Chain A
Amino acid sequence: EAGVVQSPRYKIIEKKQPVAFWCNPISGHNTLYWYRQNLGQGPELLIRYENEEAVDDSQLPKDRFSAERLKGVDSTLKIQPAELGDSAVYLCASSPDRGQDTQYFGPGTRLTVL
């Protein structure tokens, strides 16, 4: 079984530029999560999807961040414009259903904003 796939793995951009991250969850997993992990810290949830519906986006900075999950499968997280403080690892995770199912994490995208 293929795991959670994320791309790109690394991205370097200048501040004020846009950037997008892509996630393909494990097949059949209805719940998808985006987390941000700052250096030396644990991941923090940005947004959670149940199928194509964003059911928890309370931690997503909506002035510059947006996300979508078309057809309830792949998801894209976008930042526009990026700021220096956005440098972090962006992790995508998925689980079979809501509840206390295990969350399976992808390898993440390491973003560096110069």
Chain B
Amino acid sequence: AQSVTQLGSHVSVSEGALVLLRCNYSSSVPPYLFWYVQYPNQGLQLLLKYTTGATLVKGINGFEAEFKKSETSFHLTKPSAHMSDAAEYFCAVSVSSSYKLIFGSGTRLLVRP
């Protein structure tokens, strides 16, 4: 069975500072990994995804994530936070035999002026 753990339900950074949101996964087969963002009262929007190939994945809005198999991690980063990045971020995993996304519990990013 697959599972996702997001460390830190809340992360607070200053505007312009590095954003690091942590995600660890568990999967017995090669996983597909996703990061979604959810703004208040809106649905989830895909930031980026890893399926195969290059382990450093670049997404929208300047975000990127690196798949590290040895660490079973897929942490999300952005070099410089912007006020508009304040939202809830979800990491998710699926495998090729199942089309179901398994989500973590989410991390709320707060950006201080």
| B106/A42 in contact, CB under 8 A | yes
Interfacial chain B residues near A48, Cβ < 8 Å: 99-100
User: CA–CA, A19 to B94, complex, Å?
Assistant: 30
- A72: CB under 8 A from chain B? no
Task: Of the listed stretches B41-49, B61-69, B71-79, name the one at the interface; the rest are far from the partner chain.
Answer: B41-49
**Given A4-B43, A102-B49, residue A42 in contact with residue B105 (CB < 8 A):** yes
User: CA–CA, A4 to B46, complex, Å?
Assistant: 14
| B44/A43 in contact, CB under 8 A | yes
User: CA–CA, A108 to B88, complex, Å?
Assistant: 15
Interfacial chain A residues near B103, Cβ < 8 Å: 41-44
Q: Among the interface residues A31, A40, A103, A106, which one has the most CB atoms of the partner chain B within 10 A?
A: A103
Beyond contacts A40-B105, A43-B90, A48-B100: 8 other A-B pairs, Cβ-Cβ < 8 A, are A9-B41, A43-B44, A44-B103, A91-B44, A93-B43, A98-B99, A107-B41, A107-B42
Residues of A within 8 A of B (CB): 3-4, 9, 31, 40-45, 48, 56, 91, 93, 98-100, 102-108, 110
Of the residues A31, A98, A105, A110, contact of B45 by C-beta under 8 Å: A105
Interfacial chain A residues near B42, Cβ < 8 Å: 107-108
Tell me the smallest distance from the CB of B97 to a CB of chain A, in Å: 11
- Chain B contact residues (Cβ within 8 angstroms of A): what range? 20 to 34
> What 9 A-B pairs come out closest when comparing CB atoms?
A42-B103, A105-B43, A105-B44, A107-B43, A45-B100, A100-B32, A106-B43, A42-B90, A102-B46
User: CA–CA, A74 to B104, complex, Å?
Assistant: 28
| A99/B43 in contact, CB under 8 A | no
Tell me the smallest distance from the CB of A11 to a CB of chain B, in Å: 14
Tell me the nearest residue of chain B to A91, going by C-beta: B43
Interfacial chain B residues near A104, Cβ < 8 Å: 46
Interfacial chain B residues near A9, Cβ < 8 Å: 41
**Given A45-B100, A99-B99, residue A108 in contact with residue B105 (CB < 8 A):** no
**Could you list 25 A-B pairs, sorted by A, with CB under 8 Å?**
A9-B41, A40-B9, A41-B103, A41-B105, A42-B4, A42-B92, A42-B104, A43-B103, A44-B103, A45-B100, A56-B99, A56-B100, A93-B43, A93-B44, A100-B49, A100-B94, A100-B96, A102-B49, A103-B101, A104-B46, A105-B36, A105-B44, A105-B45, A107-B41, A107-B43
